[in-house]
């Protein structure tokens, strides 16, 4: 089933590339534009809980009334997609820390205050500008990690990560897998 999902996402990405180039930001998005209309809580629950044929279900315990208000299914999938592109081969802790980096930036006054803007901020996530995002898919295991981190974040300090060395920004914290994390 994951192979089919991956194929479908690659096909969608290919079809969306012509017309989803956003000249104001200069990036190609393989996901639909951020929803502009209000989505009901029932719609969010339905979206999060569908996919009964998949091997891994989204944890029901994280789909609670107060939790649903924290992040939309669309935002969770966007974070999972970027996390797969940036850290798909990294250990689980490394994936969690990439998720935390995105969430911590949203919470920080030094970065945009929404998930979409943080991810598509110019020059921030290499998978956006080097094309790896187009070869990625929403992995259910990573999607579950997104919900877990939104519900109970592992680290509130990480704001930057990089391979091979620490970022020139922030204060060096630690290395996990191939990534060096900074605050």
Domains along the chain? 2-182 (1.10.10.2520)
Using CA atoms, how far apart are residues 180 and 158, in angstroms rounded to an integer? Answer: 10
Q: What is the pLDDT of residues 117-142, one digit of tens each?
A: 999 999 899 999 898 999 999 999 99
Give the residues across from 22 on adjacent strands. Answer: 27
Q: Which residue has the higher pLDDT, 31 or 107?
A: 107
pLDDT at 70: 79
**SS3 of 66, please?**
helix
Q: What number is the average pLDDT over the span 5-25? A: 46
């Amino acid at each position: 089933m994951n192979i089919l999902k991956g194929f479908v996402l690659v096909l969608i990405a290919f079809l969306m590339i012509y017309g989803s180039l956003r000249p104001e930001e200069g990036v190609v998005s393989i996901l639909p534009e951020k929803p502009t209309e209000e989505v009901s809580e029932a719609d969010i629950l339905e979206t999060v809980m569908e996919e009964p044929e998949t091997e891994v279900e989204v944890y029901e315990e994280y789909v609670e009334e107060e939790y649903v208000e924290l992040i939309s299914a669309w935002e969770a999938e966007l974070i999972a997609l970027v996390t797969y592109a940036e850290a798909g081969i990294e250990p689980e802790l490394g994936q969690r820390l990439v998720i935390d980096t995105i969430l911590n930036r949203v919470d920080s006054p030094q970065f945009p205050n929404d998930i979409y803007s943080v991810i598509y901020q110019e020059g921030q996530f290499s998978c956006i500008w080097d094309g790896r995002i187009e070869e990625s898919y929403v992995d259910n295991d990573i999607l579950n990690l997104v919900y877990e981190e939104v519900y109970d974040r592992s680290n509130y300090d990480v704001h930057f990560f990089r391979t091979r060395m620490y970022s020139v920004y922030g204060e060096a914290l630690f290395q996990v897998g191939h990534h060096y994390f900074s605050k």
